[in-house]
């Protein structure tokens, strides 16, 4: 159990899974900093981030702040509203944390990144790992600095999934759980200054990009079926994968690999319609 309070930065489902597991193990932050509520769905219902929803639902004694920008974040920490905490944890916060905020914490800030750093630095490590057909995945906790996913490593955990290439949501859940376990084991030691950080090997660093809608396009007649398979696994639900069939845009929702050269798309969503079953063998004739 950690004797000192800490601040948790994080907004989406990945961060929520981590926060849930920390709470289950009685490692509870004093403050949550997350993105602002925003419209969601066709009806544009104003919806809080998953981490905020979790805190409210559980009625946890956590104060919530939702700055709109990096500048607002700095103002928040200069305002005196944030009490002194020894350190912070950042998991999928989506904003770059400036030096003024990092330096607010005596022990600095622990970052969570779902890759074996320095591999897959940046915004989309999970998607890129699946798209590249990796068999070995992992997660890292490290001390953040002003560069992207650059600071020294505190601990890492490797996960071997050689038997099956997961889809994005499956791997997100697996790596979030693994990240939470890594924090549970190491935060008490970190809070007592009992971990020596190890610098990352810059020569092994690789970087990721944020995927756009056009990255999800596939040609079911020309593209390598293995690539189509990986795209469907990695780019759903965001930004999504689509093809043009009979001059209509069709979302490709799920696919199975029967053998090395035998792939079948099993779920599709025609434009303006609901998801439906399919039996599209790749490549299409």
Amino acid 4: pLDDT? 60
CATH number for the domain spanning 37: value is: 3.40.50.170
Specify whether 221 is located in the same domain as 187: no
Write the Ramachandran bin of 134: left for phi over 0, alpha for psi from -120 to 50, otherwise beta.
Answer: beta
- Low-confidence residues of the chain: pLDDT under 50: none
Q: Does residue 1 form part of some domain?
A: no
CATH number for the domain spanning 275: value is: 3.10.25.10
Residue 40, number of CB atoms within 10 A of its CB? 11
pTM attached to this predicted model: 0.93
DSSP element (H, E) containing 91: strand 87-91
* Angle ∠(173,230,236) on CA atoms, nearest 5: 50
Amino acid 211: pLDDT? 95
- Answer yes or no: are the C-beta atoms of 108 and 143 closer than 8 Å: yes
Amino acid 110: pLDDT? 97
Domain that holds residue 58: 6-204
User: What would the pLDDT profile of 62-111 be if each residue is shown by its tens digit?
Assistant: 999 999 999 999 999 999 899 888 999 999 998 889 999 999 999 999 99
- Rounded mean pLDDT of the chain? 93
Amino acid 44: pLDDT? 81
Amino acid 2: pLDDT? 61
CA distance 171 to 235: 12
CA distance 187 to 48: 27
């Amino acid at each position: 159990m950690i004797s000192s309070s800490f601040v948790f930065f994080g907004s989406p489902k990945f961060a929520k899974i981590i926060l849930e597991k920390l709470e289950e193990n009685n490692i509870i932050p004093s403050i949550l900093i997350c993105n602002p509520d925003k419209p969601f769905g066709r009806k544009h219902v104003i919806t809080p981030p998953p981490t905020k929803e979790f805190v409210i639902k559980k009625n946890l004694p956590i104060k919530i702040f939702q700055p709109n920008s990096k500048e607002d974040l700095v103002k928040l920490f200069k305002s005196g509203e944030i009490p002194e905490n020894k350190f912070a944890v950042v998991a999928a916060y989506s904003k770059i944390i400036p030096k003024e905020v990092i330096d607010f914490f005596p022990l600095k800030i622990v970052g969570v990144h779902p890759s074996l750093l320095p591999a897959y630095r940046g915004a989309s490590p999970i998607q890129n790992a699946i798209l590249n057909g990796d068999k070995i995945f992992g997660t890292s906790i490290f001390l953040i600095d002003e560069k992207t996913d650059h600071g020294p490593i505190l601990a890492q955990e490797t996960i071997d999934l050689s038997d099956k290439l997961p889809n994005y949501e499956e791997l997100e859940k697996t790596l979030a759980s693994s990240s939470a376990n890594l924090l549970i084991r190491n935060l008490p030691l970190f809070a007592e200054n009992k971990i020596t950080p190890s610098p990352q090997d810059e020569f092994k660093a690789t970087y990721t990009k944020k995927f756009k809608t056009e990255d999800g396009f596939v040609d079911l007649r020309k593209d390598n079926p293995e690539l189509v398979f990986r795209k469907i696994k990695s780019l759903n639900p965001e930004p999504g994968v689509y093809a043009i069939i009979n001059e209509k845009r069709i979302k490709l929702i799920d696919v199975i690999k029967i053998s090395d050269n035998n792939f079948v798309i099993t779920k599709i969503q025609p434009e303006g319609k609901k998801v439906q079953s399919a039996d599209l063998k790749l490549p299409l004739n």
